Homo-oligomer: A and B are copies of this chain.
């Protein structure tokens, strides 16, 4: 991947933040909730209406539309050399049941705004540009999550994805046909470069007062179930020194697990999100406890080091307290670094445009994480209020969204080249 320097006239281009904001608000009316959020679950009629609106907008901006067999939409703006692989951007427009206006939608409409800006300015790129709307990123109705990008990148097969069913027994294939987005099967075309703009979904940019997050990697994840077997006993008659209290051991491990990531800052994460004790009675010493562990790190060496620290802590607590502790790994997502040349393009353009910025990692999954398996890829984060997403109160500043969109425009021009 080599990036082109762009001409002064191209460098003078700016996206229209007001137009971007208006499109976000217009799309948010489809599935709008009373509390100001959006409920537009994948492959529902509302998702279909949202897709139709995007397609109309893209066609009005001079794009051709292609839909693949898993329902991903590609709005294409021809390049001067249309045989080159496209420089692509995109995200998703499906939401959580109590989702917001920005998660996913921003990435799609920022891409559209880039095309509109080029269209208005009459700028032609060397390579073609595409804006992708990936099917079912959220996974609220159908699993696996990040379904459209996962099929596109070969993480799982088209057939597997089409066969998945929702709680009512409707398959992905049936739901796609129902809303008119079951496209033709065929091999995924090559992608020259992929950028994705997204709200951060975390508090780091806001906390540091920065506008642009240069996303260097997506954290790898290892999830576990840990079970602790101690001895149930009456709380009254059992002296402290004769107890084998499963919750006490679990509590020591919760603190230890927190330490595993705290000692590996800034990027490592460790979370115990669920816990249960048995028999869960006020005056009975818990005989058994179960809890989940979620470890995340930007590279596999660190993630394995954290895995080892978890196992060491469990073995130590089990030995010291005379309990049995079992660990089962239930999920593994590998860490995914983004392409350094592309992240540098994001960083340099944010700097050129005078936006405060910082390097960050993505703790959550995104379509770009799959795309990075098959193409040079990078992400651009902008702040969201209080780091809150997957929530109807999700909120972002128009100026920040515009800034991210300007960085996206510049980065895509650099990757695609501007035709003379």
Contacts and interface: CB of A to CB of B under 8 A. Distances in A.
B255 A255 contact: yes
A234 B364 contact: yes
A420 B396 CA distance: 96
A255 B270 CA distance: 20
Nearest to A283: B294
Nearest to A264: B240
Given A202-B237, A204-B242, A389-B234, A258 B248 contact: yes
A364 B237 CA distance: 6
Nearest to A202: B237
A303 to B, nearest CB: 13
A74 to B, nearest CB: 28
Contacts of A22: none
A147 to B, nearest CB: 18
Interface in A266-297: 266-275, 277, 280-286, 292, 294, 296
Contact of A236 (B203, B272, B286, B362): B362
B277 A235 contact: no
A248 B254 contact: yes
Q: Which of A254, A294, A390 has the most CB of B within 10 A?
A: A254
B265 A241 contact: yes
A263 B387 CA distance: 42
A239 B266 contact: yes
B387 A203 contact: no
A196 interface: no
Contact of A221 (B236, B265, B275): B236
Contact of A280 (B262, B274, B365, B388): B274
A84 interface: no
B236 A269 contact: yes
A239 B262 CA distance: 9
20 contacts: A200-B237, A201-B234, A202-B239, A203-B242, A223-B283, A235-B269, A236-B362, A238-B363, A239-B269, A240-B258, A248-B258, A250-B251, A251-B252, A251-B255, A271-B284, A273-B282, A273-B286, A274-B277, A274-B280, A282-B294
Smallest CB-CB A-B distances: 7 pairs: A202-B237, A236-B363, A251-B254, A235-B271, A251-B251, A237-B363, A236-B364
Interface of A: 200-204, 207, 219, 221, 223, 233-242, 245, 247-248, 250-252, 254-255, 258, 261-262, 265-275, 277, 280-286, 292, 294, 296, 362-365, 387-390
